[in-house]
Every structure is written in C-alpha cells, then in structure tokens.
C-alpha cells in the first residue's frame, strides 16, 4: 500500500566521478538520523552497479543499469519511482543519475511521474569535481565541458567538491565561474562532500526549481549538445544505448592480480579513460578492494561484499581502445 503523503524527490547530478555517491551516503545517514526511511534510485551507464556496495543494505534501492535515465531509459524512471513508493513507502527518494546525464531530461522524467504520483520534486543537487572542471575550463571546449556546464546550470544547489585537489586561488576562480553560469544556486565548497546537509536542504527550499525558466533559457543551450551526444530512442526504451561519445568496457577478471602491477597499469591508462571502478582480489593481500579512479586519481577501499560479487573493472571514457585495455588486464591475470 502506498502512503497518501507526498514523497519528496531529490536529483543528484554531476559528472562521472565527481562525488555523487559520496554525497548520497551523507544524505542517507542524515535522513536516517532523523528517523526517516530514504530510498535510492541508482542509474549506471555500465552493466554492474558497484556504487550500490557503498549504500547500506537496509536502504531500499532500485538499480537502472546499462543506460542513461536522461535518454534511453527515461521512460522507465517514472515506473521505478512508482514501484519504489508502492513497495517501500519511503519518506524521501534520491535519484542518482549517471555522470553523463543531462539533468533537464531527468527533470522531465520526474515531472512525468508527478502526473500520476504524489511526489514533490525538491531540486537538483549538482556535485562538481574542482580539478576536473578547472582542467576543462582552461580548455573551454569539448562535449564533457558543455555537459558539466549544463549540469551546473540546472542545479538548485552546487557542491564544489574535491577542493583538496586545487589551490585556494583556483577554488576562488571556480566559485566565481560557476556563480556566473548559475546565479541562483548556492555554492558549497567541500572535500569528500563533507557539507552541512541542513544547508544543502535549506538551499533547495530557497532556490526552488523554476522549470519554466529552465525550459526556455537552458534548454536552448542544451539543444546543441543533445543532438550531438544523445541517441534519442524514446520508442524503444529497452534498446539500451547511451550517449554516443561515451564508451564503457566491463572486464570480468578470471582471478587475483598483483596489486603493484594493477596500480601501474592504472597509472598508465590513456587520458581518454576518465572513470573506472571495480572490485578486485589481489594476489599479495588478503582482503578484497573496491577500486575507484576518477579524473586520474585512483582510490582503494577494503571491502567485504555481501553475497556473490565478481571481480570486475568497469572502464568509462571516450574513444579509447577496448582491446588494449582487455589485453593489459588479461596479461595481469596470466602472470
């Protein structure tokens, strides 16, 4: 039985690896401390959900894999929201979009659901990787730059994350740049998304989404990007394509690999691979690890996954050679 109350919905946006899951964990803990039941809709471009390993088991979660909710599987979003509300009656829902999602399209998906469900779209929180944005800002071109700009423009609250990876002057420059792009959203600088969650939620209340403004002002700017990066296929939502400039390679490992060898393989990844994540067993350490790689920075977290989780690494990027990555990985497995 679904509750008769209105369910608030938050959209988490931000480029691949910016820190969305890191923020999601904080939001979930915050709501749990308030005695609330948060639920999560996770969307991944790859076919495995590794971020799910970072969310506590008792949090109801729906996964939308192998596609991007902003385009090919957008139609499914309102059904997922409806299903979650019916099954779990959560007090609040967070939709974590893929890093390549266009928030305008997700807003469309959620508003579609609002036609027949009692939901209240609270706003878009966009997480920004400071170092990555700085790098793209200095080049001022490319689809990734425009997409990141779009994600910033559609936010009601902006988390300027990973400030540990830029200098104080660079952080100031970024703050002024993003405030110019989006003068309505609050900007909260952070390291590992450690922000005052009450401030985030308050700022959403103060900067409600003005969909009319976004449709006229922003959509015009987005139009060019959509045409070049999105394969529109609204009729066949199960044909899982995604943004055409983004590639995903999922590599299942046959066994443990040497940690040093893996680290040097990652250090030498081509620039075109800008995000990777996986679960690994190393031959020289006892534990298993959740591996992350975002904008050239690797990270390893010791984990004890519940249930069966294969050793797998997902590589995401643009125009990289899948066979070169596969060969490199296989070579490590053979040794």
Ligand X SMILES: Nc1nc2c(ncn2[C@@H]2O[C@H](COP(=O)(O)OP(=O)(O)OP(=O)(O)O)[C@@H](O)[C@H]2O)c(=O)[nH]1
Contacting residues toward ligand X, per CB under 6 A? 14, 16-22, 51, 99, 161-162, 164-165, 191-193, 275, 292, 294, 297, 299
What's the rounded Cα separation, in Å, for the pair 106 and 11? 8
Nearer to ligand X, 85 or 160 (CB): 160
Smallest separation, CB 147 to ligand X (Å): 12
Nearer to ligand X, 48 or 119 (CB): 48
Smallest separation, CB 38 to ligand X (Å): 16
CB 85 within 8 A of CB 3: yes
Smallest separation, CB 98 to ligand X (Å): 6
Nearer to ligand X, 219 or 300 (CB): 300
Nearer to ligand X, 17 or 109 (CB): 17
What's the rounded Cα separation, in Å, for the pair 85 and 30? 20
Looking at 39-142, list the stretches that DSSP marks H as alpha helix, in order from N- to C-terminal side: 74-88, 103-114, 130-139
Nearer to ligand X, 93 or 127 (CB): 127
- DSSP E strands in 242-329: the ranges are 247-252, 273-281, 288-294, 297-303, 312-317
Smallest separation, CB 301 to ligand X (Å): 7
Edge-first strand order for the sheet with 273-281 is 247-252, 312-317, 273-281, 288-294, 297-303
Smallest separation, CB 52 to ligand X (Å): 10
CB 72 within 8 A of CB 106: no
Alpha-carbon Rg of the chain, whole angstroms? 19
Smallest separation, CB 12 to ligand X (Å): 8
Nearer to ligand X, 47 or 297 (CB): 297
CB 119 within 8 A of CB 32: no
Nearer to ligand X, 42 or 92 (CB): 42
Nearer to ligand X, 79 or 191 (CB): 191
Distance of CA 61 to the CA centre of its chain: 15
Smallest separation, CB 137 to ligand X (Å): 18
- The dihedral formed by the CA atoms of 273, 251, 276 and 270, expressed in degrees to the nearest 10: -20
Give, as one character, the DSSP assignment of residue 165: G
- DSSP E strands in the chain: the ranges are 7-13, 38-43, 61-64, 92-96, 119-129, 157-161, 186-189, 247-252, 273-281, 288-294, 297-303, 312-317
Smallest separation, CB 144 to ligand X (Å): 12
């Amino acid at each position: 039985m679904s509750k008769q109350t209105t369910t608030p919905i938050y959209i988490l946006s931000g480029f691949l690896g910016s820190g969305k899951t890191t923020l999601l964990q904080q939001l979930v803990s915050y709501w749990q401390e308030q005695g609330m039941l948060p639920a999560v809709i996770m969307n991944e471009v790859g076919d495995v959900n590794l971020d799910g390993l970072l969310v506590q088991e008792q949090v109801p979660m729906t996964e939308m894999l192998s596609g991007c909710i902003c385009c090919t599987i957008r139609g499914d979003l309102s059904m997922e929201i409806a299903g979650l509300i019916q099954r779990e009656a959560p007090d609040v829902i967070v939709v974590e979009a893929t890093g390549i999602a266009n928030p305008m399209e997700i807003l469309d998906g959620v508003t579609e659901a609002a036609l027949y469900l009692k939901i209240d779209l609270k706003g878009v929180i966009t997480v920004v990787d400071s170092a990555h944005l700085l790098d793209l800002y200095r080049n001022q071109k490319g689809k990734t730059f425009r997409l990141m700009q779009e994600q910033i423009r559609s936010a009601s609250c902006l988390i300027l994350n990973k400030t540990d990876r830029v200098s104080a002057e660079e952080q100031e420059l970024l703050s002024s740049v993003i405030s110019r792009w989006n003068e309505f959203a609050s900007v909260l600088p952070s390291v590992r998304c450690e922000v005052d969650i009450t401030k985030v939620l308050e700022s959403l209340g103060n900067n409600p989404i003005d969909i009319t403004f976004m449709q006229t002002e922003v959509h015009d700017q987005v139009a060019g990007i959509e045409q070049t990066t999105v394969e529109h296929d609204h009729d066949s939502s199960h044909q899982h394509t995604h943004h055409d400039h983004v590639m995903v390679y999922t590599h299942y490992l046959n066994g443990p690999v040497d940690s040093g060898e893996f680290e040097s393989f990652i250090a030498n990844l081509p620039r075109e691979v800008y995000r990777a994540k996986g679960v690994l067993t190393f031959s020289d350490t006892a534990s298993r690890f959740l591996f992350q790689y975002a904008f050239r920075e690797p990270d390893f977290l010791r984990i004890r996954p519940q249930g069966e989780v294969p050793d797998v690494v997902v590589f995401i990027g643009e125009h990289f050679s899948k066979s070169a990555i596969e060969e490199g990985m296989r070579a490590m497995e053979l040794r």
